[in-house]
């Protein structure tokens, strides 16, 4: 696999992870009849949801960096060949 396909595949995966974590955040923050252990009033662990969103964001940024670097390398290679 080349760097562009690796970067784009990783970026798509990071977007999916972020979307899933965001959906869990919404679900977990919804009011429930029983209090949650974290005291916020939802059903789940909002802290874990936010951490997963931050991790997905960092993974996406790293993937974009891979894509940018591969693009720059290809451009420089074409400049050398020209």
Q: What is the pLDDT of residues 14-70, one digit of tens each?
A: 999 999 999 999 888 877 656 555 555 555 688 899 999 999 999 999 999 999 999
Q: Write down the pTM of the prediction.
A: 0.77
Query: What would the two tokens of residue 39 be?
Result: 């005291």
CA distances from 34 to 39, 42, 52, 58 (A): 10, 8, 25, 34
CA distances from 49 to 12, 39, 57, 80 (A): 19, 15, 12, 47
CA 51/CA 29 separation, integer angstroms: 15
């Amino acid at each position: 696999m080349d760097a562009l396909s690796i970067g784009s595949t990783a970026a798509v995966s990071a977007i999916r992870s972020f979307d899933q974590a965001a959906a869990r955040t919404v679900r977990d923050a919804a009011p429930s009849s029983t209090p949650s252990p974290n005291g916020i009033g939802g059903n789940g662990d909002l802290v874990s949801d936010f951490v997963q969103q931050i991790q997905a964001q960092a993974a996406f940024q790293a993937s974009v960096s891979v894509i940018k670097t591969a693009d720059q390398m290809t451009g420089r290679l074409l400049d050398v060949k020209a």
